[in-house]
Amino acid sequence: MRRFLIPIAALVCLVTVEAQDVRLVLPPDLYAAPGREMNLYFDNAILVLNSREYLFDVDCPKGRQDQERWRFTPTEQDVGDYPLSLKVMDAAGAVLAEGAATVRVAPAGGSGKPFTLLCVGDSLTHASVYPAELFNLFGPERIKLIGTHHPIDSLPPEVVHEGYGGWAWQTFCTRWTEGDDPRAKSPFLRLEGDKPVLDFQAYCDRTNGGQGPDITTVFLGWNDIFSATEADLEGRIDTVFGYADTLLAEFRRVRADTQIGLLLLTPPAATQDAFGSNYNCGQTRWQARRNQHRLVERMMEKFGGRESENLWLLPAHLNLDTVNNYPVVTEPANARTDKQVTRLANGVHPSAEGYRQIADTIYAWLSYRLSR
């Protein structure tokens, strides 16, 4: 038998690893308020298979850098604006991506003036945790939540919103079906003859004495792009933006000075375990993460820099702990052992703690806008 010897060098040449493209999504403004921790989780800011293989360098006069995040809990003495820069590097120190932002710290709660708030969203809003937390943070003397939906009986009756499981931008613009279920019809539609038409003024007549809200937040996207693939993702996002333009124009038609905050879509739970728990083999965490990251990139391109139109981007995607603030289950590691392991158990819906981090993002932005 003849033996063939392959030089080691030849083997090495066959195994080459190309440098991975590091796509950083760092909005120009990060908001913070005294007494509330604000985070920049590095894994949420870049799209890579394993963020632990990269080095991060935050330069900011405030806060501290940990292994997985930059964090900052301001005091009242910290009110003001601070520059922040983030570099992403490889093991040799080569900079692969970098970005800059301004950390805007406003007085807690902004001014003492009462205001109205409409929260629009999908199941992440239907859960009602972040609207309830905002209600608690501001108190009933300051905040009036506008809405027709109160799905959680244990919460105060004032905690209302327009958040419905499974809904997308398109749903709010088009849904009109038979039945009395709140999910049968978009609250922003009415019948004109036998045709449903978008009429936000009619909605405000029913819910807010005819006035448009002072502030509206929109937290949508997962149902628009969750099942997308690389082949159809861009087209799906184009469709999203078409309906977004329609709905936002209708909001502004009723009241041009309503402050509209668009939440940048939060990333999924950190592991495939969460997706196996919810979807079996129906979706992978990596594809969902790619879809989410691309939507954030495109939202920043389309809606960024439009503050003069009272349109703002809220960096909720950076402030959510996808490792510790998603639901978990404890179960045997496998069928042949009694050893228990803890696994993430929900792909896109955080635990109550995660929802409250989303509330912190909104609260910090509200404090900034209400202080102006």
- By the 8 A CB rule, do 221 and 240 touch? yes
pLDDT of 25 reads: 98
Q: Give alpha helix (H) positions in the chain.
A: 8-14, 42-45, 123-126, 129-138, 169-174, 200-207, 222-225, 233-254, 272-279, 285-303, 352-370
State whether residue 56 is helix, strand or coil: strand
pLDDT of 183 reads: 87
What's 348's DSSP letter? S
State whether residue 173 is helix, strand or coil: helix
Cα–Cα distance, 313 to 4 (Å, whole number): 62
Greatest pairwise CA separation for the chain in angstroms = 92
Cα–Cα distance, 52 to 152 (Å, whole number): 39
pLDDT < 70 regions, the chain: 1-20
What domains lie within the chain, and their CATH numbers? 20-108 (2.60.40.10), 109-370 (3.40.50.1110)
Identify the burial level of 3 via C-beta atoms within 10 angstroms of its C-beta, where 0-12 means exposed, 13-18 middle and 19 or more buried. Answer: exposed
pLDDT, tens digit, for every residue of 77-96?
999 999 999 999 999 999 99
- By the 8 A CB rule, do 162 and 150 touch? no
pLDDT of 2 reads: 41
pLDDT, tens digit, for every residue of 16-53?
334 468 999 999 999 999 999 999 999 999 999 999 99
Cα–Cα distance, 40 to 321 (Å, whole number): 9
- By the 8 A CB rule, do 219 and 122 touch? yes
pLDDT of 6 reads: 37
- pTM equals 0.94
pLDDT of 20 reads: 61
What's 139's DSSP letter? -
- By the 8 A CB rule, do 203 and 187 touch? yes
Cα–Cα distance, 202 to 190 (Å, whole number): 8
- E strands, 61-121, are 64-65, 69-72, 80-89, 95-105, 115-121
Q: State in Å, rounded, how far the first CA of the chain is from the last one.
A: 84
